[in-house]
Every structure is written in structure tokens, then in C-alpha cells.
Structure 1
Amino acid sequence: MTTPTILLPGDAVPAEALPSATSAPLRLGPGTRLFHETKYPSSPHTVTATHAGLLSTDAKRNTVSVLSFPNRRYIPTVNDLVIAQVQRSSQDYHHCILTPHAPLAVLGQLAFEGATKKTRPAFKPGDLVYARVLSVGVGAGTEVELTCVNPATGKADPGGLGPLQGGMVFDVSTGLAARLMKASTSGVVLLDELGAKLEKTGGFEIAIGRNGKVWVDCSGGGELAIRITVAIGRCLREMDEKDLTPKEQRKLVTRMLREMHVDV
């Protein structure tokens, strides 16, 4: 088994650990930054870590990122997907909460697919929105800006960006949020197992925010939907508290659905 690589802020990503694909440019994921190094002309660029965490590479997508440790405070990074709560609205912006300890982020009134002054979504304080971090600014006093469209296409890419209606939100650590979003490479089978078990009940929708928020909405309604939603939330909480193997995750799903009297 390969020993995981742990990086601290400012550490350079080892060159031998970078994906070796030559047909596509290297993509930098969360927790990484490209620096221009003038001391070593033979290696003019260095990928460094912006926070402490585990090095993660995806050879298929030619991507490198640093997965944060479970209890790390969320720091917005461009292109992060987040679940924001609208605190208030002004003429041009919705002012949103990403985390309780951080300044409000701004979301443009027209930053939605096909939005015009007449068709833009109307939010009330407390409403939720699934958005992407567009910019974080530089220096003190700068605001984090969010968007619900791809700036290049004007489309809600990936699908699901925009208002989140109904459902429930569960708080998880930023570390678990990152693992859930990289389930295929981080040993997480929890969501796939839940999807397979709950398929005949209509399944569920889920949105994962890098700011440690998970939104879950079950199809249909009534008491069964509530029990399923609570079961998913309890699975997430126990997964967050314990370092479960894939086999243990599958057992957790079976046990939690049984305890919540969900017939699968």
C-alpha cells in the first residue's frame, strides 16, 4: 500500500506525484496553487499546497488537489461548489452565509441561467442556493463572489446549481465534504450504497458543498421521506466521526435504514 503524502501550507507537490498525462494540461484542484519559481530555471513552475492535507491525484482527469483534514475551517477557493444561505438581498446582490465565522459572500441577482430582471429567482432570508465560488479577491476587505452559471457558457454547469427547495441540510466536516465529492478516489461508497438501497423508494437528491454542508431531498413526501432523510443524515454523521472502510460503510447503511424502519 502506498504511503499517503501529507503536505503543509507552502510545501511543494513532489514532481513524481503529479499525473503524467501529456495530452491535457494539468488541472489544479482545491488546496493547490501554481507558483513561478525564478531560482530554478529548469523547473520554472511549482505546484504548492495552500493548506494542510493529503495529496490526491486523478490521472484520468489529470488533476492534483490537497484534501483537507476533517476539522479544518473552510477557506473559499475559486471553483468550489458550496451551499450558501441567503441572509439578505440588495438591489444587485444576494448576501449569503457560507460559514458562521466568515464574512458574507455576494451572489449577483442575475447570476443564474437565463435570469433577467423579470425572471430572476426571488429569495427570502434563510433560503438555500447551490453555487460556485467565482472569485475570492485579494487582500483584507475583499468579498467572495458566487455564481450559479458557468461564466464561459452562461449555463448552470454542472446541473443543479441554483435554488435548493425543500429537503434538509446536514453539517459535516470540510474533510468529509471533500471526500464525498471525490468518492471514486477517496474510498467512499456510502452514497452509492444508499442510492442502490433506496432506488425502489424513488431515490433522493443530494448537493454537497465544500463548506461542510450537505443538502438531501427525498422524492415523494410524507413520513417515509422524512425517515429516509434522517437516516441519510445519521449515516453522514457517523461516517464523519469514524474512519470507516468501504465494507463498514455498507454495514452502516444497512443498519441505519433498519433502525429508521425503511423497508428496502
Structure 2
Amino acid sequence: MSAPVVLLPGDEVPHDRLPTKNSNPLRLGPGLRLLSQPSPKAGDSNHVLTATQAGLLTTDAKRNTVSLLSFPNRRYVPTTNDLIIAQIHHSSIDFFHCIVTPNTAHALLGQLSFEGANKKTRPMLKQGELVYARVQSVGVGAGAEVELTCVNPATGKADGGLGPLAGGMVFDVSTGMAARLIRASSASADETDPVDGLIILGELGRKLESLGGFELAVGRNGKVWVDCSNAGEGSVSVTVAIGRCLQETDQHNLHPHDQKKLVTRILRDMKLVS
């Protein structure tokens, strides 16, 4: 087994670590950017990729994907196309000013950056309310403005549940755990081959199906929004139980077998399952 590769910002991805036995286009995950593409005329068959953050290089030959697995507790740095959960701080004529991480400048979310929004139908968001947004652009240099959007620029639609988040609760996790949850939620649940060693979402889904299930939105900035409104009178207990499961899995870096035991223990302690 080859030694793991840890990259720092600006480091070039070694060519021998890129997937080569796949005819599909190479896909870049978080933490990497493309400097140049292969040039068949010049006989160059290698991509030139560099890291935009520190992390562990990971590849998926089946999906022809290469990405950086960020260190669990690193500070979140906004990156274009990241999905985040932001909190409204205040509004101005054209923008909502949003908190993405504590002690950093507010991000700007256009008041018309919502599906079907115009001056009459735009959402009237108040201080403290939450939105699920995508990082649209990041300026260059210290103090550069970060712009958010709640629509897909190509379609004008709120793809992936973008927009205001009503109800539910928000739980804090590490940025590394947030990235793992995003990858796990976008893949099919498979205990024999769990994505990044996470089976907890699938386990919670099976255990809570009879109670109405739950909705989840994960932000790369270390925020997880959980809504269990279908659980009726027990919605608060179910929501808290899910948040505890996610946070303890993160804090103790639990293996899949221990994740199953944790879900069972917490749901029993809160009298949600027998």
C-alpha cells in the first residue's frame, strides 16, 4: 500500500496518484484546482492540479475523482461552490448580510438570489433566520467579500434544497465531519463499503423511519440543520437525538460498528425505540 500524501496550499498533485484507468473525464473534489489540462497534440497526458487547502489526497478510481480530505478541525475558508448554512445578521437595500463563521466578515446574499424572487415575492428574512446557500464567488485578498446564492446559476432553480431553512435545529460539527456527511449523504447507504467510514445516516434513517424520518442539510462551514417535523409531538426529542449521534460520532471518530451501537443507545435512552 502506498504511503498517504498530505498536501499544503500550492502543492502540486503527484501525477502517479491520479486515476489513469478510466475513460471518463477527471472530476475534482473540494480542495483542488486545475492549472492546465492534458494536450494530446503535445503528447501530454497529465493534468496539472494544485491544492487550495491543506489535506489528505484521496482518489476514487471508479468515479475517476480526486479530492482533498481536509483535517477534521481546520478553520472553514469559503470556497466557490461550497454548500453552507448561513445566519442572517441584518439586511440592506440589495443584500442580506450573513454570518458564515464567527469573527469573520459577513457574506453577501442578494435579496433576489432565490428561486422565482422579484421585488414583490422575495423572502423577507429576519435577523437570526437561516439559509442553505452556495458560495457564488470569493474575492481576492484580505477582507475580500464572499457572495452567496440560493439558486443554481445555470438553471435559476433552488437545486438541492437551497433557500430559507424553516424550523428544525442546527448542530455544530467539525469541518472534516461536515465534508464526510456531504459525501455520505450523496452516496447510497452501503454498510459493506461505507463512504468515509460513515453509516450513521443510513442507520438513523432505518431506525427513525417509523417516526416519520428526518430532513438534513449539511454546510461545509461545520453546520448541520436537522428537521423532524413529521415526528409530531416527539419531533424535538428525535431532532436532539440525531444531533447527539452526529456530534458524538465526530468527537470520538467512531468506527461503523460503534456508530450502530451509539444510535441504538441514544434512541433507547431517549425512549424513541424499544
**After TM superposition, is the score higher than 0.5?**
yes
1:225 to 225, 235, 239: 235
Counterparts of 1:196-211 in structure 2, within 5 Å, are: 196-211=206-221
Structure 1: distance between partners of 2:270 and 2:104: 36
C-alpha contact (below 8 Å) 2:212/2:231 kept by paired residues: no
- Pick the aligned partner of 1:240 from 236, 250, 258: 250
Residue 33 of structure 1: aligned partner: 33
User: Runs of 5+ in structure 1 lacking a partner?
Assistant: none
Is 230-239 or 6-15 further displaced after alignment? 6-15
Say which SS state the counterpart of residue 198 (structure 1) adopts. helix
Deviation at 1:243, TM superposition (A): 1.8
Alignment partner for residue 102 of structure 1, among 104, 107, 114?
Answer: 104
RMSD: 2.2
Give, as a single letter, the amino acid of the residue that structure 2 aligns with 1:217: D
Looking at structure 1, the residues matched to 103 and 33 of structure 2 have their Cα atoms a distance apart, in angstroms, of 24
Whether the 8 Å CA contact 2:113–2:150 is kept in 1: the answer is yes
Maintained 8 Å contact 2:83/2:134: yes
| C-alpha contact 2:114 2:150 (8 A) present in aligned 1 | yes
Q: CA deviation at 1:188?
A: 0.7
Displacement of 1:202 in angstroms is 0.2
Structure 1 residue 244 displacement after superposition: 1.2
User: 54-63 or 69-78, which moves further after superposition?
Assistant: 54-63
- How much does 1:61 deviate? 4.0
Mapping of residues 54-133 of structure 1, within 5 Å: 54-133=56-135
Q: Deviations for 1:36-55, whole angstroms, at most 9, x for unmatched residues?
A: 49xxx957752121222122
1:131-170 maps to which residues of 2 (within 5 A)? Answer: 131-158=133-160, 160-170=161-171
Ranges in structure 2 where 5+ consecutive residues have no aligned partner: 38-42, 185-193
> What is the identity, as a one-letter code, of the residue corresponding to 2:171?
F
Change (3 A) 1:187 1:44: closer
Shift of 1:222: 5.1
Task: State yes or no: 1:18 paired with 2:18.
Answer: yes
CA shift in 2, pair 1:130/1:27, >3 Å: same
- Which residue, 187, 193, 202 being the options, matches 2:197? 187
**Is the Cα–Cα contact under 8 Å of residues 22 and 61 in structure 2 kept in the other structure?**
no
| Cα distance in 2 for residues equivalent to 1:170 and 1:215 | 6
1:263 matched to 2:273? The reply is yes
**Change beyond 3 A, Cα 1:34–1:80:** same
The separation in 2 between residues aligned to 1:239 and 1:5, in whole angstroms, is 25
CA-to-partner distance for each residue in 1:222-263, whole Å, 9 max, x for gaps?
A: 541111111111111111111211111111111111111112
Q: CA 1:3–1:261 in 2, change beyond 3 Å: closer, same or farther?
A: farther
Secondary structure at 1:220 match in 2:
helix
1:87-115 deviations in Å (ceiling 9; x for gaps): 01111111100000221100111111111
In the alignment, structure 1 residue 6 sits paired with structure 2 residue 16:
no
Determine the C-alpha separation between the residues in 1 that align with 2:111 and 2:19.
39
Amino acid paired to 2:13: V
Cα offset, 1:10, TM superposition: 2.3
Equivalenced residue count is 261
Are residues 4 and 257 of structure 1, via their aligned partners in 2, closer, same or farther at CA, if it must alter by over 3 Å? farther
Cα–Cα, structure 1 residues 118 and 55, in superposed 2: closer, same or farther, change >3 Å? same
TM-score (norm 1): 0.91
8 Å CA contact 2:6, 2:54 repeated in 1: yes
- Taking the aligned partners of 1:43 and 1:101, their CA distance within structure 2 comes to 44
**TM-score (norm: length of structure 2):** 0.88
Aligned-partner Cα distance in 2 for 1:246–1:149? 35
Residues 183-228 of structure 1: CA distance to partner in whole angstroms, max 9, x if unpaired?
2531111111101110010000000000000000003355411111
Cα 1:151–1:87 shift into 2, 3 Å: same
Segment of structure 1 superposing worse, 18-27 or 122-131: 18-27
Task: For 1:257, give the aligned amino acid.
Answer: L
Residues 1:251 and 1:4: Cα distance change in structure 2 (over 3 Å): farther
Q: Check 1:238–1:104 CA distance in 2 against 1; reply closer, same or farther (3 A cut).
A: same
Q: Do the aligned partners of residues 223 and 5 (structure 1) sit closer, same or farther apart at CA in structure 2, a change above 3 Å counting?
A: farther
